[in-house]
Structure formats: structure tokens, C-alpha cells
Amino acid sequence: MDQIEFPVIRINSKNWSDTEEGIPLETPYIYTPKTTIFNQFYLNKEVADCKGTIYKIIDRKQPDNFWRVIFSFIPGVYKAELVFQNTSKTITLPALKEDLIMGIKRFETEDTKNITKDWIAETESANSIREMLAGA
């Protein structure tokens, strides 16, 4: 089975609760011990990787380093690895562009119009999923 290729991005933007869900994940790690954040923003969410393969986040692997757990209140110390399951589904570049643009527009305000316009233009001009997510 193929390995997930980072960065990845949340899909199904109609279900986004926050604009941060439109920011790609560069690594499989999250840096918060809070179960509520994991459950709200990660658990059972689907992501597309750079190849268009769709994965579901099914769990997180807690840090096995005692010190990372003890000092989890210090930002950046706690580090849990997300566990992904291949869904055997894929998404095309045009479909991912459409989904991402829909998500960007959901959170547009008068104050963010210029940023939104630029973000949409960059998304529309991307020639690959990797370029859209990583800018290269």
C-alpha cells in the first residue's frame, strides 16, 4: 500500500468549522494533548495527500517519551502522531480546487477580501495538487 505523502489538506470544506481547516498539514504530528481539539479538528476527518489519495484520520499515537507528556503544557513539547487510514478513494485536481475554493469563500469577510482573492487565484493557477498544497 502506498504511503501518505505530505502535505495533506482537509477535504469536504462544507463541513469546515474554522478557516484553519483549510491550511495544509505539513507533517503527521499535532502538538496539543487536548482531546477536544483532536476530536473536533482531526478525528474522522478526511484529507487528500499530494497524489490525490484520500485518507481518514482514525486515531493519534500518544508520545512514548515520558518528558513530552510531563511537559505537555509547554508549547511545542507534546507531539502526537496522527494515524491515517487509506479510504481507497481519490480526488482529482479540479475537484480539490473546487472544494478548497468553496471553503475559502465560506469564511470571506470584508476585511479578508484581498487575501481571499489572492488565495483563490493561487489555487486556480496550480498545475498539481502538490503545487497547490506546498507551493512548489
Tens digit of each residue's pLDDT (9 = 90 or more) over 92-116: 999 999 988 888 888 788 888 888 8
pTM of the model: 0.84
What contacts 60, CB < 8 A, 6 or more positions away?
Answer: 30, 38, 42, 80, 81, 82, 83
- Residue 71 has a pLDDT of 81
Mapped onto helix, strand or coil, the DSSP state of residue 80 is: strand
Q: Answer whether residue 73 is part of any domain.
A: yes
Please report whether residue 76 resides in a domain. Answer: yes
- Cα separation of 117 and 122, whole Å? 9
Is residue 41 scored above 60 in pLDDT? yes
Give pLDDT, residue 21. Answer: 66
What pLDDT is stored for residue 11 in this prediction?
87
According to the model, what pLDDT value does residue 126 have?
94
Position 100 in a domain: yes
Query: Into how many domains does the chain fold?
Result: 1
**Residue 16 domain-assigned (yes or no):** yes
Do the domain assignments include residue 52? yes
Domain-embedded: residue 104? yes
